[in-house]
Chains A and B, each alone.
Chain A
Amino acid sequence: MIEKSVLLACVPERAFTLFTERASDWWPAPLRHTGDERSEIRMLAGGRFWERATDGREVELGRVTAWEPPARLILDFYPGTDEQHPTEVIVSFADEGPGTRVSVEHRPKTESAELWADGAPRFARSWDLVLDALGEAAT
């Protein structure tokens, strides 16, 4: 499991909004699926989690599986693998002093357990996506 956290200088409500509505502003540009640095990325209460390039191309980045503002958000996450092998991201927003602690737990699901560990028999199907993403990350 990957665990990361950051202390934001704002209240949990704003932190939740920054994370979900303004993902376009913090999502690492070289890792955008559409290859468009100015793409729009949104997570929606209704379940969609998508990216839309300025030319209109859209790609599903995952699914919102729990939407609990301003405390918690759970995502099925496709970047790095693919739709058939989602990983899971749990984001929590907690009061800490005058700010908000945003904690990310990123872990494999049953479908992606083999991808996460070494030697993945089913990895082949995810190769194109992984190679593209890794290649872009390196440039």
Chain B
Amino acid sequence: MHALDALGNPVRRDILRTLRTSPLAVGELAARFPVSRPAISRHLRVLEDAGLVEHRAQGASSVYAVRVQGFASVRDFLDEFWETALSRLEELAKE
């Protein structure tokens, strides 16, 4: 999944904001959210597929952390921005 799609969900954005402060185990993370633990795990899987978080095993649980490289998407974001903006500008000039 593309990072943009992964970010198009408020729970996943909140998870990222929480992990930004410090890496957390799934259980600790689930305790801070009003959604079930399986739901948190699903969101983490989506984020991991998109390259936005990574995990390492610690004892019996997995500790998740933000993966900063996944956010090189600033550049892609701006690229898309201008793509859309200029095509709208083109339409506007025809009026």
Q: Decide whether A and B assemble into one complex.
A: yes
Residues of chain A whose beta carbon lies under 8 Å from any beta carbon of chain B: 2, 4-10, 14-15, 18-19, 22, 25-28, 31, 79-81, 87, 99-100, 102, 104, 106, 115-120, 123-124, 127-128, 130-135, 137-139
The chain A residue sitting closest to B10, CB to CB, is: A135
Query: Which 10 pairs across A and B sit closest by C-beta, in order of nearness?
Result: A138-B8, A8-B93, A26-B88, A6-B86, A138-B4, A4-B82, A28-B84, A10-B93, A26-B89, A135-B7
Interface, chain B (partner A; CB < 8 A) = 3-10, 13, 16-17, 20, 68-69, 71-75, 77-90, 92-94
Task: Indicate whether A133 sits within 8 Å of B77 (C-beta atoms), given known contacts A26-B88, A104-B86, A138-B4.
Answer: yes
Known contacts A118-B72, A134-B7, A137-B77; A5 and B93 CB within 8 A of each other:
no
Closest to A31 in B: B81
Majority SS at the chain B contact face? helix
Question: Chain B contacts of A80 at CB under 8 A?
Answer: 74, 77-78, 81
A122 to chain B, nearest CB (A): 10
A-B contacts, 11 of them at CB < 8 A, read A2-B75, A2-B79, A6-B86, A8-B89, A102-B86, A118-B68, A127-B17, A130-B74, A131-B7, A135-B13, A137-B77
Is there an interface contact between B81 and A25, defined as CB atoms closer than 8 Å? no
Docked CA distance A100–B86 (Å)? 13
**Known contacts being A2-B79, A2-B82, A128-B17, is A134 close to B89, with CB within 8 Å?**
no
